[in-house]
Structure 1
């Protein structure tokens, strides 16, 4: 009887140890949601790349999972609500979130924290070369896809048309669907943030496309009306058949984290991304990753603090100089 009790006691102890190991082991793994984009856009490839890098190179107790998204608008809102822990977002949307303007009108939120600048992005409108559309004014009354719902492309396209007083027949489609609709002549033009975009690269391989140039007057209106927009140029040969530079407007894209992500974990992510191996890998995923850097003056102008983990990383980089 004593032996049986001893056996049962040992089994109970073993079960408790096993359960404790399982429970505490699971609790020690910290999972973070990375809000990304959808197929056909620039970000889909970029986000897939950074999430894969982080999954492979971070310590095993830190996991990052990619969740599909419409783009910068939805990403920013998710970060504000706590649905996302990490994301890419436009400077304009981050500013609006922090200050309770635009996409977050009346709902200021202090969750976003800057990790680093990824790249300067362009916004532009594309049509087929044989459409007869040669200027932004020619979009009056035409069928124009703004971008996917919840995307920065859609927000920028809508802002552009409103600022320039152009009344188009507007719609929202996923990047891949919009590119296909353009190629098939179902729409006259589509707006896009970031180049080259995968969907448009595919269209340009089979159809002659035309990037609609902005005039100086149009760019002056856009830059005056939008915080952190600036004049820029899409270099020639960004797309097949585009033989000349095209005037566009620009904005900054940031890698950001929620203030609730522990500083040590963000610091580990920074080390992975900016390691020689990390930079080489990301640069091969998409050329925009090659320009990731710190621009403290621009961050100061934006008015959003660095994440403490990123702040530690950048401080250490300065000390090494």
Structure 2
């Protein structure tokens, strides 16, 4: 099985967004298997840059696998460009598992919006993760109170190909906000805002980067609120609308409502069914361990949330869900099982 070094993967962040997903996979590339007894198979979980929920979620899965399935598998978290990049990498067989937002997964699978002409129809859902609300983050002393106040400011939309970058570009274009855009990793963006290098950045709740930044800075957190909701829904109906709980962030004592996503774990239809089954089973049956690493993932990835997926599930995941008595809607059943 071919492994990519972090350096090569970083190069892929530039190359892959320019190529189509259709037909990129090769049978021998990036496939985990349980076919050889006694052999420990290494596999990658595509996350995002450190500081965001994807990295925390991937770390939780990796920890479970490396503790509970150490005789069969060894998982490693890889820094990637997040959702869109992970969909492409998974489809191409370059990584075995990836984190992906529901709206990006839907667009990739169907070849819509940013994926027009580069359909990633091999991607499959593995398990639900956690809900998130997109936030546009700035400092309280910036004078920025609404989305349109970012006009003319220095702003990081997030890593290239990430769901944060995608929604930032859509929001700024839809509402004619012309900022000086850049694409910093999540942790770098938080530091840059803290030292005044940029005026704002995008990240989805929940995120440790914002909580850590609030320890030293007073922030303003803006969502796609009521004044923008109707127009945004009409332009982009694939997003979900969720709440940030009251008191989660100092800057939002009463919570907030906004456009969001449900984060998912994805794999490829080319991946071995038993491999996916074993990973799914291990994560669900070691929820207490997941909770010590990322409580939000442990709380919101329950079997009752399987229906949040926007793409079909992997056959290996379906096997586990059926064992637990979960009925999968027909539209979420993988084509290969119909």
User: Is 1:42–2:53 an aligned residue pair?
Assistant: yes
Tell whether the 8 Å contact from 2:125 to 2:266 is kept in structure 1 after alignment. yes
Give the Cα separation in 2 of the matches to 1:247 and 1:200: 17
Using structure 1 for the length normalisation, give the TM-score. 0.84
User: Which residue of structure 2 lines up, in the alignment, with residue 204 of structure 1?
Assistant: 214
Q: 2:149 aligns with which of 133, 138, 142?
A: 138
Moved more, 112-121 or 26-35: 26-35
The Cα shift of 1:123 comes to 0.3
The Cα shift of 1:112 comes to 0.9
User: Is 1:128–2:136 an aligned residue pair?
Assistant: no
The unaligned stretches of length 5 or more in structure 2 are: 1-34, 328-338
1:1-321 matches, within 5 Å, as 28-58=39-69, 60-195=71-206, 197-275=207-285, 278-289=286-297, 290-294=299-303, 295=305, 297-299=307-309, 302=310, 304-318=311-325
Question: What root-mean-square deviation, in Å, do the aligned CA atoms of Structure 1 and Structure 2 show?
Answer: 2.2
Give the Cα separation in 2 of the matches to 1:218 and 1:58: 46
SS of equivalent to 1:117: strand
The unaligned stretches of length 5 or more in structure 1 are: 1-23
Using structure 2 for the length normalisation, give the TM-score. 0.80
Give the Cα separation in 1 of the matches to 2:129 and 2:253: 27
The Cα shift of 1:51 comes to 0.6
Q: How many pairs align?
A: 291
The Cα shift of 1:281 comes to 1.0
SS of equivalent to 1:217: helix
Give the Cα separation in 2 of the matches to 1:62 and 1:149: 30
Instruction: Considering fraction of residues, name the structure with more helix.
Output: 1
The Cα shift of 1:213 comes to 4.2
The structure with the larger Rg is 1
Tell whether the 8 Å contact from 1:157 to 1:192 is kept in structure 2 after alignment. no
Aligned CA distance change for structure 1 residues 213 and 308 (closer, same or farther; 3 Å): closer
Report Cα offsets for 1:246-302 as digits up to 9, x if no partner: 232111111111112211111111111111xx1011122112212103445444xx2
Moved more, 124-133 or 223-232: 223-232
The Cα shift of 1:319 comes to 7.2
SS of equivalent to 2:149: helix
Tell whether the 8 Å contact from 2:89 to 2:95 is kept in structure 1 after alignment. yes
Give the Cα separation in 2 of the matches to 1:42 and 1:116: 15
The Cα shift of 1:235 comes to 2.0
